[in-house]
Structure formats: structure tokens, C-alpha cells
Amino acid sequence: MEDRTKMTIRLRPDVLRRLEQWHSVENRSKNEFIEDAVTYYTDALALMDSSLLPRAVTAAIDGRLNQFEDRLARLAYKTAVELDMQNGILADVCKLSEEMRRRRAESVKNVKQTNGSISLEQRMRESDAGLDDEDDEWQG
């Protein structure tokens, strides 16, 4: 047996009851159970006190985040290029400066209201609903 120091402890009745219940379930002596419990608790405290993750975990997380950031940046760049192309074509075809300002203000409002999650199908439904109202007014 290892070199151990004898220690007297005082436990509340409810804690003693739980100790009696669980040490028998674990099929260990009370000393082993208490020693394991103290070791577990002090290890948990040491982990909470530590402000740094192990280097391997930090490196893995950083690597994955860098990959994710690079992928998002490439996708955002491609989207910006496509959007710029569409805007250029639209500007060349329409040549409506005041209408474009109004449309841009409307688009900014829509994006803010939907937090950027507006879809083409939703815009088409709204546009169709607006046309139905205009048709009703025209027909009297």
C-alpha cells in the first residue's frame, strides 16, 4: 500500500448518506471513493482556473477557423463580382438614375427588415401582388 496520511473528516448527514450510497455502487472503499472525488474536483477547479486551452486544441481550432474564413472570403468575393456585373448590365440597359436611387433605397429597407434573408421567390410574390392591385385599379 502507498504511503498515505490519515485524516479525519466531518460530513453533513446528507453528504454521508450519498457517500454510503455511491461507494457501494462503485464497489470501492470509502477512502478510494473520497480520494477519487477530491481528485476529480481539484482537477475540475484547475481546468476552470486555466485560461488557456492546450496548444494542440488551439492550433486545430485556429486552422479550421482560418479555412472557414478563407472560404467565406472567396465566396463573398465571387458574389460581389457577380453582383457588380449585374448592376453594370442593369445600369447600361435601364439608364434610369432617379428610379435606380428609389430602387436602391427600397432594397436597403428590405434587407434591413429581413436581416438579409430576402429571397427572389419572396420578391416575385410581392411584385405579383403589387401588379394585381394595379390591375384592379386600372379596371375600375
When computed from its CA atoms, the radius of gyration of the chain, rounded to whole angstroms, is 34
For 105-140, write each residue's pLDDT tens digit: 887 887 777 777 767 787 778 777 766 555 554 444
- The pLDDT, as a whole number, for residue 66 is 93
For 7-60, write each residue's pLDDT tens digit: 899 999 999 999 888 888 878 888 888 999 999 888 878 776 666 666 777 788
C-alpha–C-alpha distance, residues 73 and 91, integer Å = 26
Total count of residues recorded for the chain = 140
pTM (global) more than 0.75: no
C-alpha–C-alpha distance, residues 78 and 85, integer Å = 11
Whether residue 118 contacts residue 110, with contact meaning beta carbons closer than 8 Å, is answered with yes
C-alpha–C-alpha distance, residues 72 and 3, integer Å = 58
Better-scored residue on pLDDT, 103 or 17 = 17
Query: Residue 68 — pLDDT band, cuts 50, 70, 90?
Result: very high
Residue 1 in grid coordinates: 500500500
- The pLDDT, as a whole number, for residue 102 is 81
